[in-house]
Every structure is written in structure tokens, then in C-alpha cells.
Structure 1
Amino acid sequence: MQRPHPPEDFSLKETSPHLGGGGISGDKLTSTYDLVEQMQYLYIRVVKAKDLPAKDVTGSCDPYVEVKLGNYKGTTRHFEKKTNPEWNQVFAFSKERIQSSFIEVVVKDKDLVKDDFIGRVMFDLNEIPKRVPPDSPLAPQWYRLEDRKGDKIKGELMLAVWMGTQADEAFPEAWHSDAAAVSSDGVSNIRSKVYLSPKLWYVRVNGRYPEVYVKAIHGNQALRTRISQSRSINPMWNEDLMFVAAEPFEEHLVLSVEDRVAPNKDEVLGRCVIPLQNMNRRLDHKAVNTRWFNLEKHIVVDGEKKKDTKFASRIHLRICLDGGYHVLDESTHYSSDLRPTAKQLWRSSIGVLELGVLSAQGLMPMKTKDGRGTTDAYCVAKYGQKWVRTRTIIDSFAPKWNEQYTWEVYDPCTVITIGVFDNCHLHGADKNGGSKDARIGKVRIRLSTLETDRVYTHSYPLLVLHSSGVKKMGEIQLAVRFTCSSLINMLHIYSHPLLPKMHYLHPLSVTQLDSLRHQATQIVSMRLSRAEPPLRKEVVEYMLDVDSHMWSMRRSKANFFRIMGVLSGMIAVCKWFDQICHWKNPLTTVLIHVLFLILVLYPELILPTIFLYLFLIGVWYYRWRPRHPPHMDTQLSHADKVHPDELDEEFDTFPTSRPSDIVRMRYDRLRSVAGRIQTVVGDLATQGERLQSLLSWRDPRATALFVIFCLITAIVLYVTPFQVVALLTGFYVLRHPRFRHKLPSVPLNFFRRLPARTDSML
């Protein structure tokens, strides 16, 4: 009999790692590596060589250096026909993996058949000096080469050898023993790296003063105005076209004025190329000066496009770089930065965020190598404009990174995102560039949920939703600390609007923001993919939640139950009040009568009582305040009990690639769900329209009754003290069940009989 599998543990676990190797020293923005476990490394910096002996028949050599420590071996690049080469490469060997008492640094000559031995330098590990950052860097020295017998020979090698930690400045660019199996082509892919998102600007183009329209192109973005309504030789548009551009501005803005001479046939009347670096930079809503630009006419001669020397025309434009907006490239729910583009508008920072990426446990095999499952994991963290990437740990299901990174914080209501990926570009496996780094999981932490100056050490579950269901891919252990430099400044931030002023003074439409966000994510992913090592497109898009706007039945259910969860408190209060009105608990109802009587006789106590009650509730809940950062919740996301077909629909391509019968079934299901939503929205609209019809005379008898009722009520309220009215109303609402009728009340019956606009709908 097969034993049932134990349920997967998706919970967040608090951990107690052995953090730090040194206290906090110096500037808080300087990484002190006190949020990670200290790891010892043996560093060898190979600088250069001189006077190397010739090995080839040509009288020269093709030298490279091989650093060997036990079973681990690292090699530098080789130079052709050079006896005085300069490498300046660093090798790092983890102290945990040292299996020898000696380091051997060998200089070899690259050959087609067998590489020739030139000379070597040996070091005893017991004599290696220790260096603790922030000590000054260890100066390299010249060492005379020896032959295999230990005799001095011609040639010298400049080296520096020391024991250090991962806080050493040589650590990010070093070759690591963790990557001993990686080919020379893949070494750059395993290094840790810090990236900066390009500074993004909104470009606003406003054209002023046949069927003529203007088409504007910037990079892969293309927009066009409407056809001018002024059918003359001086057409006008007065339309804004918005683009996203990244500094440094590599691509020009291209404007062309075109005439629609026939359906699907346009004739270019003129074009101009505008360099963006020369444009005005706007910080507020004030209009910038307009300029006239010459339009160049192009003619085709012998199949080639040539510029016509004749003057074509001019176009009147207002072009500016809008620095007062924040260019959205992330999901608005998980923004890590809300500052405007222009640095002049930035407020001072309020603190520092420090992240220690410690280790991972229980990672799943992501690919197959030599007939067995393996994973080459690395982490990416994104906050603000700064992206960081840890080094890749080769072939390990429990990698240890122990790398620490620091960010300035300008707004506490922001989110840092940490993703774990499998490196699929090692071992020369991606010759054609077709493979993608696989997702292992993602963690989001909102800074406003963290207490200041507290170190949070937790093991977060790495969850990924596949077409087969939610799957736990392992756990990642992080250390997080949010340090506040000024509590007053941070509290003052809560009174400011979330986005810069321009988003409220001259708001962009939702459609425009969605289009601009798509353009921004494309630009960021393209720029970061060109870095070395590249941060690939699939990684950037996963971190920026590019697909979060796509339809999902699972997400729709989750959002519906989130709304019900929010309303559950109000529903519970209504049920409690209904029980009081129906005297389910007579003692509670009598106490409510007494409280009600006091508040009516002393109305000045109503507001203080409400706020005192809210204060007491807040103090009462302090005992159950959250002690851990939020994490991915499978139940909240409805990922643990989702139907397989709904998952298949969520992971379907756009447009769909499924057979027509499946698409028909899903379409019918979507119509059913949309029909229920449509009914609810229609009911809400009906209630609102009934309120409007009270005074609209759509039903003249009902409006007449309501107007007379209002007149009588006004007279009664004028001559009757407020306390008497409140007492009578309250006692009527709280009356005993024997005085109640099961039929609906008169006001409710009257309201339900009011007309709505449903009668006019087809």
C-alpha cells in the first residue's frame, strides 16, 4: 500500500544564523558584511610576467597561468607571442574546500597538442598572510620562476597571495573554486555583479500648427497623431505623444509627416531626426518653448533612398524630457522606487536597507547533466535603480552565497524583490543563445512592515506556479535590516502623495501608463542584457512582474475572496447588531440601550467615544502584531486548490495556442463568470439610479411623495429637539422582536419600487 505524501510546508521559518565577522564601522552605506556568515577565501592575484623564455620554434611563447590547489584548478586567458604578458586576474578558493598544503602557480605555453611547462611558483599555506577588510590592499611582488626540481630559471611572475573574506574588494571579480567545472566561456556568468537600471525619461512631443498626420519613432516605439482636421497646406494637430527614453540617449527621435493618399498607402512629405540629448528637461508643468524643425524630403534613385536638397517644409513642435514624472517599470503594487526622474526633485534619503543573501536549502534539480539532476543557482535582488546578482554556485542543492548588499531608502512604502534562478548558460551549453535561466522562486519584502534597526533572519519558501500546480522549489535564507536615519523624516513621508506631483497635476491615462510601462520594461531588459555578465531578459521580466496584468481565473477568485475578507468585518458587525436588535442576548442589548441613551443625552461624547474605542482596539491588537515579514501565501493566492484546466489557461500563450474545443469551453466559462459579474454591477447601478430618481420626477407620484415627506420631516425636526428624535429612532431600531413584522419595512418597499434605467436597456 502506497503511503500518502506528507503535505508540503509553505510556511516562513525564523532562523538563527551565525552572522557577522566584524561590527558596524564607517559609513552605513559601506557594506560591512555583518548580515552574512563570514567565509574565508584564499586569494591569488596573477598580475603579469616578464622575461619568459621562448618555447616555440618562432622564438616566442603563448603564455597563460594555471593556479592549482589540490583538485581545484583555475587558468588565466592566454596571449599569443608575448613574453611580457599582463593578466591581472584574481582566483578565490573557499577555505572549506582546501585539500592541499601548497599552492602551485604554473606558467605554461599554449600549444595545439600539449601545453609546454615554462615555470612555477610554490607557496606554503601556513605562510600566507591574512588580510581583514578594510585593510589596505596587499601589494603584489615579483617571484622568480622555478623548474620542476625547484631550481631558479629565467622569467619572473608578479603575484599577490592572501587569506581574506567575501568582504574583500577582489571577491566580485574573482574566479571561484565553486565554478571549477565551468568552461572559460562561462566564467563571467557565475560572478556576482551590481547593475544600475538606466535613468528613464518620458519624452513628450507636441505638434502644433490632403489628410496629413505625424508619425514619431523612437527605437522600437512608434506613435502617430490623428489626421489633421485642417485640410490645408498648414495642418494643425496639438497632440501629445509620449515615449520612454533611457540615458545615455543612444537613439534619436524620428518624426515624419505623411499624407494618406489611398487606403493602406501613405506618402512621406518630410522627416526630421532629433537628438534627445539636446532637448529641454522639464521639472514641472510649465510649458517649454516651441521650436521649428526643418523637414527633409527623400527621393528614391536607382532603388536607393537619397536626401533631396530641396527644402521640404517645417514643423512646429514642443519637445521636452519630462523629469517630473516617475517612469513606472514595475508593477504598481510592488514598486521599489517612487522618485521622479529629475534628480533635482529628489528628497533626502530616510535610511538604509541592508540585505544579506545567506544560503538556500532543498533546491530542486532544474536540469540534467551527465544523467543526473543538477542546479546552478544564483540570486538577483532589485530595489530602486540598483540590481544585484550573486555569484553562481555550481552543482549544489544547498548553495551558500553569504553576500551582502546595501541600498539607500527614500520611501518606506516600497518593496524589495529577491529572485532565485538556475544558470543555464554555463559549460558552453548555450551556443545558440536559445536556453533561458529557469525560475526557482521569488520573495518580496515591503519595507514598511519591518521594524527599524532589527535584523530579520528568516528562511523563505521559494514557490513557483507551474501548469501542474504550485510547487515548493526550496527555501532561501535571508538577513534583512532597515536602518532609519531620521524617524521624523520617515513619519513625514506618510503625509506626502505616493507619486510625484506631475502625476496629479497632469495625470496620464491608465492606457497610456500601461503602454509606457511596457516600453520601460523592454528598455530596461535590453540594457541589462547587454551588461557583462548579462542580466537576461527572462530574469528582468520575472523580477518586474511583466505578466501580472494577464487574465487568470485563479487570480480573479483570489481577488474576490480578498474583497470578501475585507468586507467580513463589516458583515460581522452587521450580524452582531442584528442579534442585538433581535434580543438574542438580552443583557448585551440592555447595555447597548444604556450606552445609546448616554450618547443621545450627551451628544458631545459621540466622537470621543468612537475614537477612544478605536484606540482601545489598536492597543488590544498590539499583542498579536505580526513579528515576521510577509511572504508568499499559497492559500491567499488560491494556488493550492486550483483546477488543472484553470492553470493550463493561465499558462497559455497570447494569443491562445490551444485547440478550438478547449478555447470554446473556456470562452463559455468566461461568459458565465462575466455574466455573474455583469449582474452584480448592474444591481449596484440600479440602486444608484433609484437614489437619483427620488428627485428626478421619473416617477411623478413617488417623487411627489418623497418631496412631501421631506417637507413634513423638516418641520418636525425643526420643532422637535434632536435628542428626542434620536431616542425615538434608536428605540425603534432596537425594539423587541414581538414588535417586529416579517414583511419588509415601508421605506425599503418604497425604495424598491423606484424606477431605474434598466427599462431603457436593450
Structure 2
Amino acid sequence: MSEEKLTSSFNLVQQLHFLYIGIVRARGLPGNCDPFVQVQVGSYRGTTKHFEKKANPEWKQVFAFSKERIQACSLEVFVMDKASGGIIGVVCFYVPDIPTSLRQEAPSPLWFKLADQNGRKGERSSGELMMAIWMGTQADQVFPEAWHADVANIRSQSIGDTRSKVYLSPILWYLRLNIIQAQDLVLRDKTRKPEVFVKAFLRNNTAVRSSISLDKSINPTWNNEEIMFVAAEPFDDSLILSVENRIGYDKEESLGKCAIPLSKVQKRALPVAASAEWYNLERVVREGEDKTEEKFTSRLQIRISLEGGYHVMDDSIHFSSDFRPTDKMLWRPPIGVLELGILNATGLLPMKWRNQKGTTDAYCVAKYGPKWVRTRTIVDSLAPLWHEQYAWEVYDPYTVIKIGVFDNGHLEGGWGRDGKMGKVRIRLTTLQTDRIYTHSYPLIVLQPNGVKNLGELRLALRFTCYSFTGLLSSYLQPKLPKMHYYHPLTSCQIHYLTKQATKIVSQQLSQVEPALRKEVVECMLDVNFFDKCSQRTYKANVDRINAALRGLVLAWKWFDGIQTWQNPILTILAHLIFLFLVNNPELILPTIFSYSVLVGLWSFRYRPRHPPHMDLKLSLAEKIGREALDEEFDEYPSSRQGDVLRAKYDWLRSFVAVNTSYLGEIAILMERLSSPLNWRDPRATSLVIVFCLAACIVTYFIPLKILVGAWGLFVMRHPKLRVGPPQMPLNFLARLPTRVDSML
């Protein structure tokens, strides 16, 4: 769908009008009642919590009624007694007379005298109710915390699960531990040589053990063996270290333990080694032993630090929405703002049954950087309207915003899990600045019985940059913080630490009200996207490589046609050009760069008109067979029968998973090499064209032998000059768009 201009209070979304009722407090109620407030507009109602035996209760609760659904002319606010079920008092309003607030904030609350059921204020009624009533929009400040009354008649484990909410991921740090040596270990069995290792444990993580020291003595050394964890602020936990001695197969005894509070661990942001410190080990007393029978003076020397110079990855680096280091002192200023308008969804399929009919309770979750947003749940609708707008600061354009649609499984008729209905990934480099993109994206889900299109999600996006020069300069900067290049982590470390970070983020977001469930967080973070065994992904990566090499294949076919004289006129022309370039070698590079400029300008007419989305053809989702689906959704270890078959099957799947990941990396590299002139990223293509123009001029006036000599000296430069972040061409290459964003 083509882009369009949206004009509203939120600029990207349409105004939705709501009737807000803010219940603050009451006074003068009978002292023996259990008061609560019930707000009713026609058939819609909302209820506050009740207080026991309290004459002056305080609620501070806001209800919201969609103006489109209001069909009644009267609003009734009842103060009721929970114990007797009777009405203490009532306040009535005429809906058309309710004022509209234009300040996007709640008006000052007022006291209203309670009347009896017949509307009389006198001896039969007692007490007053403080509340605020106004007409507003979703731009009002109280909108995220308001209780939408259209879910009041739906039984739920928590009605709070239906509200909108903004979340922040916990601040994560890498915890680096270098084990140096131990001294004066006390052995219980002194007749055999010790096999000592160190076991480290941090809450929310499994225990990690070092290798067995090669020194078979009471003073073992480990030569700075490294162990890493992911820790989250606030640092209330302690790192538990235990020195263990292996005494047999799967048997070990503890020679001492120590607890190191994370709040006392040194933080560092620069590539400077942390200082080594000695920690006393406490003796582990067995049952029946006397703790005072010998003096325990064992020590452990380690280096321990919280690494603020790294970016802690909680999802795949290819889909990452943030590359900033943990330490805020190393942050660069933001380069722009990303605005997202979640408009509506259409054609959703029923996800559950309620009142003998299929229905869906849909909500959206969007993640960019550490900020997560969740829209309100639209109950019992296959075409929900959200029209909620959110904004994020952008620090790097080569980032991805993810928007997922889920079915609320905690309302009446749900299964207790929020069902995935589809996800959209949009890379910011595919967006032009200061342009509103309004497009409908298909919601595609791959299930064990095949691929399903569960509807469409309509979004509006706008990327605004503060400085266009700063935006272009970001293409030449390292993608990751410098610490990743001075002290790089291995692929195994990154994989293990990403699992830890995902687990911590999932646990903390599930403790917020309303909670983001584990299945939602894992879906948004693309857990196991590159690690799963999938014939479909394997074949799709092969096709991506072939597509990226299509230009070389066409060039070879063209040259083969020249050799075989398929077109004599073209062949003669090619010979003349070849002889001219041989006679004038200084024109070879200018000719190549000029041709690249022409190809880039010619491709401008075929540039994408909207951000890419999930591509069924690219993902081979429509051609996948039942056997391949059974393999892709099978868990580890395999659930298939037969021990021999299971062992061979798991080995084959592990082999294919590794090769699939390698093929994906190769496909990404090939697509980046072939993408500078395809206008997938308009700014990158413009930079390439400008560079080609400049290179054309430079290579024309500077002799080729000087350029070749300078290039050779640069390639053969001293290894000391290669330490540090990658050079600008590699940084630019690492930011070029790939089609991995469209992979299902």
C-alpha cells in the first residue's frame, strides 16, 4: 500500500476518543461498609478494588470507555458495599455534556455529593466522591495506565494484562573472571595427587567450571583462564567461587568457597587489565567434622571486573536494535528519532473459542534498543484498532525494530500462553529520512502443519535525523564498541552469553505488571534463529548465495558469448574496447567506476518503495515438505523412537545446523558485496555513487602505478598498525543491507 500523510495529534496515528473517569477517593461513607466503585455506561462497566470497613477509601484508578462503543447517553458512578451488595450512593452524568480536555492531561478532580438510587441527595445518601471526568484521546498521559472497560466482562487472571505498557530491559554487564592460582589448599586425602578446578556460580546462570589445573599440587595454577557471565543491575547478587578436587568419576569435593559481592567488583571501560587480588577461601565443613581442628588459610588469586566497554547482546547481532556499550560514558550522541505508529490489524484468524465462536484478543509488542512497548489488548476483535504511537532515540541506523502481534492467552478461553501471530522486522537503513511510511505487513507464522498467514498489520514509521552529516559519518564507524576489537570474544562465548542475557531479560520482564511472558520475549529476541536445524533455511541460504553471485554468472556468460562469437558485432566491439584499454591502462579504473555510477543511477528507478517484510519465496516456506517441518520443529534430543535412529538423527541435525549458520554468514557477505548499488539503503548507495565519481577523477589524474604501490604498502603494513577497530571500508561493508531481515 502506498504511503500517505497522516495528520492527527500524534502525527502518525488517527485520534481515538475516549471517555475517561478518574476515581480518586471518597469520604463520609458509612464506617461498617466495604466500599468499591462501579462505573457504568450502557452495557459497559468497570469496577475498582474494595476496602474493608473503611469510610474514607482511596482508589486513584482511571477507567477508559471508547467513544465509538458508547451508545448510552448517561454515565452512572455507583459507590457500593461489597459485603451487602447494596448501593451506598450514585452520581449521574449526561455524556454529551462531559467536557473535552485538550491539554493531554487529566483535569483537576472535584468532589461530588452522592445521591440515593432515586437521585435524591439527602438523609438517605451519605458521603462524597472525588473524581475527574473528561473526553480525551490516546495521547492523554493517563492512557497507558487506564483500565479499558470493554474487557470488564471477560474473566481474566489479571485484567492488568490488557493495558498498554512501556518496559525497559535491565542494564546488562559482562562479568569477566580470570583465574590465576590458588595457594595452601587443604586436602582430605593426601595419598593421591589432586585434580583441582574452580567452579563459579552466579544467580540466574548455571555453574561454569574451569579446566583441571596441570599442577598436581596444593598450589595449582590456571594461567589466567577466563570465565564470563552476564550480570544485571542492580548488583545485589554475589559471585560464588568454589575450589573443587575431583576424587573420582563424577565425584568431587569442595576445598573452599568464597562469595564476592558484585557491588564491590571493579568496573572498567578501557582495554586495561584489572588488578589481581587474593580472596580467602572458607572451609567447607562436612557433617561430623570439627571446624576448629585445623587453621584454614587457603587463598585464590583472580582478576575480576565488570566490562562496560562491551555491548551485551541479548539477541542475534544481525537483528540487533542497539550496539552501544554498557558504560554510558562511552555513548555517542543520538543521531535521530524513530517514530512508530501501530495503527490496526485486518483479517486476523481466530486463535481461541469463546461463547461458541472463534475470537482473538490481539495486542502488539515493539522492541528497539532497551525500550519495549506493549499496546493495549483489543478484546474479541478480528480487526483491532490500536492507533498508538511511540518514539525511540536512534544511535545507529544499522539497527532493526521488531513488531510482533500476539494473542492474549490469559483471558477467558485462553490456554495460558500468548500465541504468536506474526512478526515484522524493519531495518532503519531501508528508511528515508523525514518520510512517513504507511504499509500493511503480512503476519506469517511457520507451524508444524505448514505456513499460515494470520492477517495483516498496518504500521506507520518515520525516521528523523538530527544531522545528515552525522548520519552519513555513522556508516564509516565501527558497528560494535572498540572493546569487541581490542579483546574480541569467541563465537562460543557470544553464543553462551547471549543465552544468559536472554534468560535474564525474560525473567525480569515477566515480573512487571502487566507481564511480558517468556514466550513473547523469546519470540521478539529471535532465540535460536541461527541455531536451529532446518533443511528449509539451509536451502534458502544456498539460494541467497546463488542470487548474490548472479552478476558474476551473467558476466561469465557474456564473456563466453564473446569467445564463441555468438554476436559478431558485439564481439568486434568488445575486441576494440579491450585493445583500447590495453593501450591506455590508465583508463581501466575510471571506466569501471563510471560503469558503476551508470548502473547505480539506472537502478534508481527500481528502488524499493517501502521497507521489506517477511518473504515466503525467499524463505522457501511454501515449498517445504512435511518431513522437513517435522525435522525443524523436533526438539533436542529427538523425540523419535529408536536409540540408534535418534543418535544418527541428532548428529545429522547438528551437522546441518552448523552448516546452515555458515551458509547464512556467507550469504550475508555475498549480499553485502552485491548490494551497494541496488538502492536498498538509499544513503549507502548515494555514498557509493559519490565515491565512484571521486575515484573516477582521482584515478584519472594519479598514475596507476602510484595507486597500486600505495595499496600494496597498505596491505603489507606492520601488524602493530592493524590493531584496533576495522578500517572505514570494512565498517561501510558491515552496514550494507542484506536480505536476512526478510527471512522467516
Instruction: Please indicate, yes or no, whether the TM-score normalized by the shorter chain is above 0.5.
Output: yes
Cα deviation for residue 263 of structure 1 reads: 2.3
Report the Cα offset of residue 311 of structure 1.
Answer: 3.4
Structure 1 residue 608 corresponds to structure 2 residue 608: no
- How big is the shift at 1:271? 0.4
- Decide which of 516, 520, 525 is 2:497's aligned counterpart: 516
Distance 2:407 2:230 in 1: 31
From 438, 443, 450, give the equivalent of 2:424. Answer: 443
The offset of 1:21, in angstroms, is 2.1
1: CA distance between counterparts of 2:288 and 2:3?
A: 74
Please state if 1:298 is matched with 2:281.
no
Shift of 1:289: 1.4
Map of 2:80 onto structure 1: 108
Counterpart contact for 1:270–1:312, Cα < 8 Å: no
Corresponding residue number in structure 1 for 2:296: 311
Deviations 1:709-743 (A, max 9, x none): xxxxxxxxxxxxx9xxxxxxxxxxxxxxxxxxxxx
Give the residue type in structure 1 aligned to 2:516. Answer: L
What whole-Å deviation, never above 9, does each CA across 1:531-569 have from its counterpart, x for those lacking one? Answer: 111101000001111121111000001001111111111
Separation in 1 of the partners of 2:475 and 2:48? 53
1:350 maps to which residue? 335
Matched-pair contact (CA < 8 Å) for 1:297–1:308: no
| 1:38 counterpart (15, 18, 25) | 15
Matches within 5 A, 1:252-331: 252-301=238-287, 310-331=295-316
Q: Which of 620, 640, 655 in structure 2 is aligned with 1:638?
A: 620
1:488 equivalent in alignment to 2:474: no
Cα deviation, residue 306, structure 1: 8.6
Percent of aligned pairs with the same residue? 56
Equivalent residue, structure 2, for 1:73? 45
2:648 and 2:295 mapped to 1: Cα distance?
A: 59
Aligned to 1:146: 115
Q: Structure 1 654/473 Cα, relative in aligned 2: closer, same or farther at 3 Å? A: same
Aligned partners of 2:240 and 2:257 also within 8 Å: yes
Q: Can you list the C-alpha shifts for 1:585-635, whole angstroms capped at 9, x where unaligned?
A: 011111111111211111111111110110111111111111110000000
1:268-667 mapped onto 2 (5 Å cutoff): 268-301=254-287, 310-427=295-412, 435-548=416-529, 549-660=531-642, 663=645, 667=649
Quickly say closer, same or farther: Cα 1:125–1:308, change in 2 above 3 A. Answer: farther
CA distance in 2, matches of 1:249, 1:302: 36
The change in CA–CA distance for 1:671 and 1:141 in structure 2 (over 3 A counts) is closer
Q: Distance in 1 between matches of 2:621 and 2:518?
A: 26
Q: Contact 2:367/2:524 (CA < 8 Å) preserved in 1?
A: yes
Q: 1:200 corresponds to which residue?
A: 172
Taking structure 2 as the reference length, the TM-score comes to 0.83
Q: 1:307 to 1:607 in 2, by over 3 A?
A: farther
Shift of 1:309: 9.8
Contact kept in structure 1, 2:167 and 2:373, CA below 8 Å? yes
For 1:364, give the aligned amino acid: L
Contact 2:321 2:400 in 1 (8 A): yes
Separation (CA, whole Å) in 2 of partners of 1:124 and 1:308: 85
How many angstroms apart in 1 are the aligned matches of 2:305 and 2:571? 67
CA contact (8 A) 2:156 2:411 kept: no
TM-score by length of 1: 0.81
Correspondence 1:51 to 2:25: no
Aligned to 1:216: 200
Distance in 1 (CA, whole Å) between partners of 2:556 and 2:652 is: 33
Higher gyration radius (CA)? 1
Letter paired with 1:637: S
- CA gap of 1:37–1:309, structure 2 versus 1, over 3 A, is farther
The answer to whether the 8 Å contact 1:20/1:38 transfers is no
Task: Identify the residue that residue 125 of structure 1 maps to in structure 2.
Answer: 95
**C-alpha distance in 2, partners of 1:231/1:180?**
69
Q: Distance in 2 between matches of 1:20 and 1:244?
A: 44
* Cα distance per residue 1:402-442 (max 9 Å; x no partner): 11111000000000000000001123x67xxx721110000
Q: What SS does the corresponding residue of 1:38 show, helix, strand or coil?
A: coil
CA contact (8 A) 2:62 2:142 kept: yes
| Equivalent residue in structure 1 for 2:70, among 98, 117, 120 | 98
Task: Quote the Cα distance in structure 2 between the aligned partners of 1:453 and 1:657.
Answer: 52
Q: Unmatched 5+ residue regions in structure 2? A: 182-193, 664-703, 705-744
Give the 3 Å change call, closer, same or farther, for CA 15–664 of structure 1 in structure 2.
same
Contact 1:298/1:307 (CA < 8 Å) preserved in 2?
no
The DSSP-based 3-state class of the residue aligned with 1:579 is: helix
CA drift at 1:656:
0.9
CA distance in 1, matches of 2:614, 2:362: 20
Calculate the aligned-residue CA RMSD, in Å.
2.5
Q: Which structure 1 residue ranges, 5 or more long, are not aligned? A: 1-12, 23-32, 55-59, 682-721, 723-762
- Write out per-residue CA displacement over residues 512-542 of structure 1, whole angstroms, 9 at most, x where no aligned residue: 1111111111111011111111101000001
Distance between the aligned counterparts of 1:407 and 1:36, measured in 2? 16
Contact kept? 1:45, 1:90, Cα under 8 Å:
yes
CA distance 1:662–1:558, change in 2 (3 Å): farther
1:689 equivalent in structure 2: none
Q: Is the 8 A contact 2:150 2:379 kept in 1?
A: yes
1:150: how far off? 1.6
CA 1:542–1:232 in structure 2 vs 1: closer, same or farther (change >3 Å)? same
Per the alignment, residue 6 of structure 2 pairs with 19
Greater CA deviation, 368-377 or 137-146?
Answer: 368-377
Deviation at 1:663?
A: 4.9
In the alignment, the residues of structure 2 paired with residue 20 and residue 512 of structure 1 have an alpha-carbon distance, to the nearest angstrom, of: 48
Give deviations 1:286-344, integer Å, cap 9, x for gaps: 111121111111213479x9999953411111110011111111112111111111111
Quote the offset at 1:223 in angstroms: 1.1
Q: How far apart in 2 are the matches of 1:497 and 1:560?
A: 29
Distance in 2, Cα, partners of 1:449 & 1:671:
35
Mapped partners of 2:638, 2:81: distance in 1: 57
